[in-house]
Amino acid sequence: MTPERGVVLAPFTSLRVGGEAEFFAAARTGDDLAAALAWAHTRQVPARVIGGGSNLLIADAGVDGLVVRALMGRSETIERDGDTRVVADAGVTLANLARRLAKQGFSGLEWAANVPGTVGGAAVNNAGAFGGDTASCLIAVTVIDASGVERRLSSADLQYGYRTSALKRRELGEVAVERVEFRLQRGDADGPAARVKEFNAQRMRTQPRILSAGSVFANPDGTYAGKLIDEAGLKGARVGCAEISEQHANFIVNPGGARAADVYALMRRAQDVVYERSGVWLRPEIELFGRWRPQDRRALEAPRVVSG
């Protein structure tokens, strides 16, 4: 395992923004993943595994340490004694898996047919859409640490919450997701595919098709982040080449040429304007990754307190 130096990460994110990784490796097998983590551990270099890069805002200044891109792509559907499940490598594209299973008549992942990112990322972030989420159908994940030790963790072990988990909160140590198991049901012949078609149509009506990272903010209790941003008059707001979508206000899009700093500035503007107008602080679903300043991270966590 010899990682590359200075690899630009923007092409590996759904927003197509972000700088270089100090070190970069692609993991196509579980052994690759273990070797990459071991390489970083022996050199005391921080390591982070990414999937589709759909929930990350990578700093323009890049990332210290090793970034491992999960490309493991196997999946297997298992039916035994009335139990149906799919076991998928962390690098499997979630939407592709959901669509394939629906075509085969399996129900349980239809909600994910348009969710960006990978199976591993979904397990970490509790990805969800259209009333479904990862926690509702995940049986277990297999994680691996820098020593090559695997652990199988149940859904209960992951302590899922809305768009979060113990993995995302770094409460389970320095581990990476290797495989994910989802619970399925045998649906009628056309039902799952019909639901996917319905969700596709709804997405086309309501969500932009330009480069984005999906929903930027988590929905506050009792309302929707997009509704609050829209009511604040921010649809179409721009910083640099990044823009709050005219179609769905909880999406920041990159029509071309945007930088991570542009996206960050729009996130801050949306938070401040919505808070001033409604008293609601929007919590980001997108995670800052890389060489962001500590004050940049803190600014997204809570509204500024003005003394005097």
pLDDT in single tens digits along all 308 residues of the chain: 799 999 999 999 999 999 999 999 999 999 999 999 999 999 999 999 999 999 999 999 999 999 999 999 999 999 998 899 999 999 999 999 999 999 999 999 999 999 999 999 999 999 999 999 999 999 999 999 988 899 999 999 999 999 999 999 999 998 999 999 999 998 777 899 999 999 999 999 999 999 999 999 999 999 999 999 999 999 999 999 999 999 999 999 999 999 999 999 999 999 999 999 999 999 999 999 999 999 999 999 988 765 44
Of the residues 20, 22, 178, 285, only one is catalytic, namely 285
54, 212, 215, 245: which one is catalytic?
A: 215
Domain match, 44 and 115 both: no
Q: Looking at the structure, do residues 159 and 54 belong to the same domain, yes or no?
A: no
Residue 186 a catalytic site member: no
Instruction: Give yes or no: residues 127 and 30 share one domain.
Output: no
Last residue of a domain, which of 134, 168, 196?
196
The whole-model pTM stands at 0.93
Residue 202 placed within a domain: no
Last residue of a domain, one of 36, 52, 70: 70
SS3 sequence of the chain: CCCEEEEECHHHCCCCCCCEEEEEEEECCHHHHHHHHHHHHHCCCCEEEECCCCCEEECCCCEEEEEEEECCCCEEEEEECCEEEEEEECCCEHHHHHHHHHHCCEECCHHHCCCCCEHHHHHHHCCEECCEEHHHCEEEEEEEECCCCEEEEECCCCCCECCECCCCCCCCCCEEEEEEEEEEEECCCCHHHHHHHHHHHHHHHHCCCCEECCCCECCCCCCCHHHHHHHCCCCCCEECCEEECCCCCCCEEECCCCCHHHHHHHHHHHHHHHHHHHCCCCCECCEEECCCCHHHHHHHHCCCCCCC
38 in a domain, yes or no? yes
Task: Respond yes or no: is residue 215 known to be catalytic.
Answer: yes
- Domain-embedded: residue 205: no
For residue 280, the enclosing domain spans: 211-301
Number of domains composing the chain: 3
Do 233 and 296 reside in the same domain of the chain?
yes
144 part of a folded domain: yes
Q: Tell me, what CATH number does 14's domain have?
A: 3.30.43.10
Domain annotation covers residue 308: no
Q: Is residue 204 part of a domain?
A: no
Same domain for 32 and 122, yes or no, is no
Residue at 28 is within a domain: yes
Candidates 69, 85, 99, 163; catalytic one: 163
Residue 249 within a domain? yes
